[in-house]
Amino acid sequence: MQLRLREFSARAPGLAALLALLAGCSGEDHPEPEDEGVKSNPPAERTEPEISDIEREFLRHAESLEDSKNRYFGRQQIAELKLALNQVNLAPAERSKLLAQLAFHHLRVGEGRAARRAIDAAYEYEDALSPQTKIQLRKARAMISLREAEIENCVQRHNAQCCIFPLAGGGLHEVAGPARAATADLLEILKSAPGDEMVQWLLNLAAMATGNYPGVVPEPFRIPPEHFEPGEAGSDLDPFVDVAPMLGINTFDLCGGVVVEDFNNDGYFDILSSTSDPRGSLHLYLSEGSMRFRDATDESGVRPQLGGFNCVAADYDNDGDTDVLVLRGAWLGTQGTIRNSLLRNDTSPGGGKVQFTDVTAVAGLADPAYPTQTAAWGDLDNDGDLDLFVGNESAKELRLKDSAGDFPSQLFQNNGDGTFTDIAATAGVQNDRFCKGVTMGDYDNDRDLDIFVSNVGKNRLYRNDGDGSFTDVAPDLGITGSGGYDFAPWFFDFNNDGWLDLFVGAYKAHLKDFMRDARGESHGARVPGLYRNNGDGTFTDIAREAGLDHPYLPMGANFGDFDNDGWLDIYLATGDSNFETLTPNVLLKNLAGQGFENVTYAARLGHLQKGHGVSFADFDRDGDLDLYHQLGGFFPGDKFHNALFLNPGTGNGFLDVRCRGTKSNRSGFGVRAALAIEFPGGQRQTLHRSAGSLSSFGGSPHDSLHFGIPASAKPVELRVYWPCSNTEQAFSGLQVNTIIEVVEGKSGFSLRQEL
């Protein structure tokens, strides 16, 4: 299980008083440039005999972050606190405060034993503290115990059931001492502060870890057991199972992205994941068929690519294989001006050894370097190659006094020769806001892709005007959001009416909101936006009536038809940087376009670890979508193992369509497809899909249009619309449970696989 410690920050519920104790430990909701401060001794340099120039370049950034007061990776705070504690005349209360701060920073950088020593030392001065400060100190100790519980069990004794909420089976702690210590501290806190719902939530988790839920939790503080019942929509679902540990693809990393594509065109999906750890590399696992994977990180040339907060894939050069863009610098302010990496796939035609080459500089994408975690590919000018929008984290609107952190977003037009030109200024899409998500889709069905950008602040919808310019129509359409934090947007046709709808994740919730929601009470969290396309160029937000009025706190997310019923479902990867924010990831089943129901607990997908990259793909080639999830937190001490959840299936069928453009881009980004299916009584239904439209942290295969087909239905006709040639092709003679390939301008389809 993941009972893990989140950063003590202003966003953390019930920790306002603790901020006085732990001054300087700011959280994610203050995206301002870092102070420089006093330098401490730099960490020892790596001694490996052969380090490439590329790796050395990124290691310099890692050392710079560590030799600073960066809120995630900096070590100056520890040196300064130790220096302050050397003062002999410190008042007991002040010494306790400094020791508590030191405990947090040791914990942050992964020094758990030092954190324990510091928090125990802080307790030596307990008698000098006020009652409220004693409570906050006890909270800090409880959280350190929870982190110890995670290390001893979920990390060192990792198994497939670790951290799946509600905790049971293999998720129970074999080493129970740390969770029991946390339980004792949390119960003691509630004697003085019974209304602290954050503590109530953590108490339930700690009790679960030792197998003592609900008994050890007093009824007023209890998550009602009925909260975990599967519900009507989940009553027929079997649980997903994490097979990543068994397959050796459970990379142990901080938060990052994932790309699932067939990099060597052998017909099997491969996995590439990234990590925000400035010393952590990309990892590439090549499929060898029959659910076997080989670690190709070294041989493929991706090992030197360090510190990728996210990664997005596309065949930008139209040569038939998938390339990768690695994104860096998110949340680091002016310290995040670290270049991205465009990795060209140089795998030999016909397959063979996968090899990537860093072509960022020659492609014109290296300079200027701005902090970012989000980008999207799409053929915005319909010239047959893919352009690139990079959403940067500009503090221009947040820091009106000066220009520090002025990082406009970039729109790179593909020149067709392997290079790009930034045309954001002339196109009118610089955004100049703190961008956290971007997606592309043709929302108005006018044959060109539009751009939606979610921000810290108001969101934007850049309508493509077809002449190289864009107009922000979000204010007119009422989809700017509330001006808070909105992550992980995407276009998808959730109600199968032929018009792209828009999902926008809402990133503001506290543990007290989850506790209240579990009890069926009203909460204060922001809810996501589900903007239904009205078919006339306008949207209506139906999130609440669609059953999405719950706290989720999604960082990454994606969509796919996990149960093959024809309707696109949602998976939310949740959490924040704070150690104490322990929230389950969420699976939402689409109720035939009428709304969504939470089926997380029935599917056993409520992982408590931090979630970012999410990919739906059929890894075991049984016709349903499995789920690869990149897991891990923000701090060096908050790593975790990635997961591959195998789908148990539902008995429904599928049709998988691979699109190959000739005049349009080769991967078919922007292609729209409609599949008519027929039921025994002659009733027909049309399912709609769009190629290339993914979330900000969605890593599903871009050219694979997956149609779930109910068991009683059969596919009748497939219509595929190609944006560049402005043509539509119709295909009949389809069979259920097949993978087919359609080529722009070519009659008929080719059968790639029949299951």
Concatenated DSSP letters of 523-542: ------EEEEE-SSS-EEE-
Give the span between the Cα atoms of 348 and 597, in whole angstroms: 46
Q: What is the pLDDT of residues 71-108, one digit of tens each?
A: 999 999 999 999 999 999 999 999 999 999 999 999 99
Q: What is the pLDDT of residues 23-59, one digit of tens each?
A: 333 333 334 333 333 333 444 444 455 889 999 999 9
Looking at residue 402, what is its pLDDT? 57
Task: Residue 412: name the closest of 402, 431, 399, 425 by CA.
Answer: 425
Task: Residue 379: name the closest of 666, 659, 741, 615 by CA.
Answer: 666
Q: What is the dihedral of CA 103, 105, 109, 113, to 10 degrees?
A: -10
Cis amide linkage into residue 214, ω under 30° from 0: yes
Q: What is the pLDDT of residues 222-240, one digit of tens each?
A: 999 999 999 889 999 999 9
pLDDT at 13 over 60: no
Q: Which pLDDT band holds residue 194 (cuts at 50, 70, 90)? A: very high
Among 153-167, 339-353, 365-379, 707-721, the least confident range: 339-353
Count the residues in the chain: 755
Report field, pTM of the whole predicted structure over 0.85: yes
Helix, strand, coil content of the chain in percent (nearest 5): 20, 25, 50
Q: List the Cα angle 514/218/18 in 5-degree steps.
A: 55
Q: Which pLDDT band holds residue 405 (cuts at 50, 70, 90)? A: confident
List the structure tokens of 75: 């070590």
List the structure tokens of 693: 């439209």
What DSSP state is assigned to residue 154? I
Looking at residue 48, what is its pLDDT? 52
Q: Which pLDDT band holds residue 469 (cuts at 50, 70, 90)? A: very high
List the structure tokens of 752: 């790639």
* Angle between helix 92-108 and 112-123 (nearest 10): 160
The torsion angles phi and psi of 689, rounded to 5 degrees, stand at: -135, 155
> Stretch 581-588: mean pLDDT, rounded?
95
Among 3-7, 558-562, 581-585, 705-709, the least confident range: 3-7
Q: Which pLDDT band holds residue 426 (cuts at 50, 70, 90)? A: very high
For the chain, what percent of residues have pLDDT higher than 70?
A: 93
Q: What is the pLDDT of residues 630-680, one digit of tens each?
A: 999 999 999 999 999 999 999 999 999 999 999 999 999 999 999 999 999
Burial zone of 320 (CB within 10 Å; 0-12 exposed, 13-18 middle, 19+ buried): middle
Q: Which pLDDT band holds residue 1 (cuts at 50, 70, 90)? A: very low
Cβ proximity of 475 and 461 under 8 Å: no
Looking at residue 403, what is its pLDDT? 59
Amino acid present at 190? L
Q: What is the pLDDT of residues 372-389, one digit of tens each?
A: 999 999 999 999 999 999
For the chain, what percent of residues have pLDDT higher than 90?
A: 86
In 437-574, which residue ranges form alpha helices assigned H by DSSP?
Answer: 474-477, 511-518
Give the span between the Cα atoms of 597 and 599, in whole angstroms: 6
Task: Residue 693: name the closest of 722, 668, 717 by CA.
Answer: 668
